[in-house]
């Protein structure tokens, strides 16, 4: 099946680069979103996502060629499309329970425009069984047609890293599983015409859904193990990074890096899609608990070194969930904030990517490195490149620096007379 027109539903950090990629292959792509400013920006030939290398140029070129446009009317776009790719985020609440409102709404709109012979592919990460058991019936109800008979339905997980989407689209195998053999075949044929990467068919939509959850849960469990090693090393005065480097010199070892916590849309969330409804899974929830504890462990480490933090100013450097990405979803900075405030500390926050009003909304007192206030303790939460040249002598009253990402050099702090502690170092 060689598609001529594709509707990409959801034009966020993954959806827009994917739409641009499809347009670069000569397909006519209609991007669908619910945000009027997003639609206006794309139709003017610009990208509203700023952090993705090459995206602005790709969008401009596709709009100029007439192969990419955007609309608020998903149903109208689907009526014109041979293939519909859905990458609307599945939101979650504080307890990581899925909130299906957005993807259900998108699915209903798609169903109203669906025509016989179309192919619908979900790329949104989903709990196992959702494509077949929830979204397929919704499409059937709205369209009056049956998936696998009147139209094809498949799941293919996005396996992309914000900031390098085009690179990842070229290198990672595309996993594809349909609700039946015909759906799998149609989705495989589509992706082989759309991507340069290898396309891997798997047995079913459930297999493809599980594959995505398996890989993200593996990373969470691996990081939890590294954090356990870090805490063990700290109790014995051993540098855990040296241990991990030595262990990983053996090809069967791939221990990840420890840190002050795990953040983002993926790793802290997707393991819950596995174990929230399955009490027989034991290791993933334990790993989640270990990684969530790292904020409290880090604050306890600070108190062990300098005493009570009650009334003391503490600076958290980096509010984003990882270095140099403008996103703070489930950032471990928030766990640090809560633990520090519970201990009575005055909590400052600094991040070169966020303005002061955002920091205030997130519960931090904004900190200006150009006009610094006193801070007895500083904790590096996100290892932004901007912090690589940090001079600890410019922070008045600084006694202890905790490098929550093991990203900076100890010698800088030794020279400044500031105590330096890494995670497991």
SS3 assignment, position 407: coil
User: Cα separation of 14 and 187, whole Å?
Assistant: 19
Active site residues: 212, 266
Residue 278, by phi and psi: left (phi above 0), alpha (psi -120 to 50) or beta? beta
Architecture of domain 270-422: 3-Layer(aba) Sandwich (3.40)
Question: What tens digit of pLDDT does each residue of 174-208 get?
Answer: 999 999 999 999 999 999 999 999 999 999 999 99
At 214 the pLDDT is 97
Question: What pLDDT score was predicted for residue 93?
Answer: 79
- Residues of the chain with pLDDT > 70: what percent? 99
Tell me the per-residue pLDDT of 52-87, one tens digit each, with 9 for 90 and over: 888 999 999 999 999 999 999 999 999 999 999 999
Phi and psi at residue 248, in whole multiples of 5°? -75, -5
Phi first, then psi, for residue 412 (nearest 5°) are: -60, -40
Provide, rounded to the nearest whole percent, the portion of the chain with pLDDT above 90.
Answer: 90
Per-residue pLDDT at 34 exceeds 80: yes
In whole angstroms, what is the distance from residue 47 CA to residue 409 CA? 37
* pLDDT (0 to 100) of residue 303: 97
Position 356 scores a pLDDT of 97
Cα–Cα distance measured from residue 308 to residue 103, given in angstroms and rounded to the nearest whole number: 47
d(CA 164, CA 396): 38
Residues in the chain: 425
How far apart are alpha carbons 376 and 343 in whole angstroms? 14
Indicate the range of 24-33, 90-99, 283-292 predicted with least confidence.
90-99
Phi/psi of residue 418, nearest 5 degrees: -110, 130
pLDDT computed for residue 166 by the predictor: 81
Token pair in block for residue 284: 């993933």
> What's the predicted TM-score (pTM) here?
0.93
Secondary structure (3-state) at 121: strand
**Dihedral of CA 191/193/199/204: which sign?**
positive
The pLDDT tens digits of the residues spanning 90-130 come to 988 777 889 999 999 999 999 999 999 999 999 999 999 99
For 31, 129, 255, 260, the CA distances from 220, given in Å and listed in that order, are 33, 22, 11, 13
Give the whole-angstrom CA distance, residue 39 versus residue 213. 31
In the chain, what are the domain boundaries?
5-204, 270-422
Question: Looking at residue 2, what is its pLDDT?
Answer: 55
Three-state secondary structure of the chain: CCCCEEEEECCCCCHHHHHHHHHHCCCEEEEECCCHHHHHHHHCCCCCCCCCCCHHHHHHHHHHHCCEEEECCHHHHHHHCCEEEECCCCEECCCCCEECHHHHHHHHHHHHHCCCCCEEEECCCCCCCHHHHHHHHHHHHHHCCCECCCEEEEECCCCCCCCCHHHHHHHCCEEEEECCHHHHHHHHHHHHHHCCCCEEECCCHHHHHHHHHHHHHHHHHHHHHHHHHHHHHHHHCCCHHHHHHHHCCCCCCCCCCCCCCCCCCCCCCHHHHHHCCCCCCCHHHHHHHHHHHHHHHHHHHHHHHHCCCCCCEEEEECCCCCCCCCCCCCCHHHHHHHHHHHCCCEEEEECCCCCHHHHHHCCCEECCCCCCCCCCEEEECCCCHHHHHCCHHHCCCCCEEEECCCCCCHHHHHHHCCEEEECCC
pLDDT beyond 60 at 28: yes
Beta bridge partners of 379: 316, 402
185 neighbors 153 (Cβ within 8 angstroms): no
Encode pLDDT of 243-254 as tens digits.
999 999 999 999
pLDDT on residue 165: 80
Of 55, 46, 42, 43, the C-alpha closest to 14 is: 55
pLDDT one-digit tens code per residue, 135-176: 999 999 999 999 999 999 999 999 877 777 888 888 899 999
- The string of DSSP codes covering 298-329 is HHHHHHHHH---TT-EEEEE--SSSTT-S--T
* Among 93-97, 307-311, 410-414, 418-422, the least confident range: 93-97
CA angle 158, 257, 259 (to 5 degrees): 100
What digits encode the pLDDT tens for the residues 358-393?
Answer: 999 999 999 999 999 999 999 999 999 999 999 999
Summarised one tens digit per residue, pLDDT across range 310-348 is: 999 999 999 999 999 888 999 999 999 999 999 999 999
- Given pLDDT bands bounded at 50, 70 and 90, which one contains residue 3? low
Please give the class, per CATH, of domain 5-204. Answer: alpha beta
Q: Are residues 254 and 399 in contact, defined by beta-carbon separation less than 8 angstroms?
A: no
270-422 and 5-204 share a CATH fold? yes
């Amino acid at each position: 099946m060689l598609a001529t027109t594709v509707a990409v539903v959801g034009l966020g950090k993954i959806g827009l680069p994917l739409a641009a990629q499809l347009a670069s292959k000569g397909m006519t792509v209609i991007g669908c979103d619910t945000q009027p400013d997003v639609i206006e920006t794309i139709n003017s030939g610009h990208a509203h996502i700023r952090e993705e290398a090459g995206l602005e140029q790709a969008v401009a070129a596709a709009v100029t060629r007439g192969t990419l446009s955007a609309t608020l009317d998903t149903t109208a776009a689907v009526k014109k499309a041979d293939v519909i790719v859905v990458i609307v985020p599945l939101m979650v609440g504080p307890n990581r329970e899925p909130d299906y409102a957005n993807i259900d709404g998108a699915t209903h709109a798609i169903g109203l425009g669906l025509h016989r012979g179309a192919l619908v592919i979900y790329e949104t990460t989903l709990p196992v069984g959702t494509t077949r058991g929830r979204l397929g019936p919704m499409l059937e109800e709205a369209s009056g047609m049956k998936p696998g008979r009147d139209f094809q339905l498949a799941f293919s997980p996005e396996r992309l890293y914000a900031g390098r989407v085009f690179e990842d689209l070229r290198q990672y195998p595309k996993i594809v599983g349909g609700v039946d053999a015909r759906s799998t075949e149609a989705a495989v044929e589509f992706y082989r015409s759309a991507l340069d990467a290898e396309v891997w068919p798997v047995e079913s939509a459930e297999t493809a859904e599980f594959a995505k959850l398996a890989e993200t849960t593996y990373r969470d469990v691996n990081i939890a193990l590294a954090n356990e090693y870090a805490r063990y090393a700290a109790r014995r005065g051993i540098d855990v990074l040296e241990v991990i480097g030595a262990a990983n010199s053996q090809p069967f070892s791939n221990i990840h890096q420890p840190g002050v916590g795990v953040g983002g849309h993926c790793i802290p969330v997707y393991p819950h899609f596995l174990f929230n409804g399955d009490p027989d899974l034991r290791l993933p929830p334990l790993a989640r608990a270990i990684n969530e504890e790292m904020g409290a462990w880090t604050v306890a480490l600070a108190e062990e070194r300098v005493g009570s933090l009650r009334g003391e100013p503490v600076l958290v450097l980096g509010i984003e969930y990882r270095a140099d990405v403008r996103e703070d979803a489930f950032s471990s900075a928030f766990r640090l904030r809560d633990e520090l405030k519970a201990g009575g500390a005055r909590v400052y926050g600094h991040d070169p990517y966020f303005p002061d009003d955002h920091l205030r909304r997130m519960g931090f007192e904004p900190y200006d490195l150009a006009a610094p206030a006193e801070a007895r303790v500083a904790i590096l939460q996100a290892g932004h490149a901007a912090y690589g040249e940090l001079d600890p002598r410019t922070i008045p009253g600084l006694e202890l620096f905790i490098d929550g990402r093991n990203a900076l050099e100890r010698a800088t702090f030794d020279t400044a007379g500031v105590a330096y502690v890494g995670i497991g170092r």
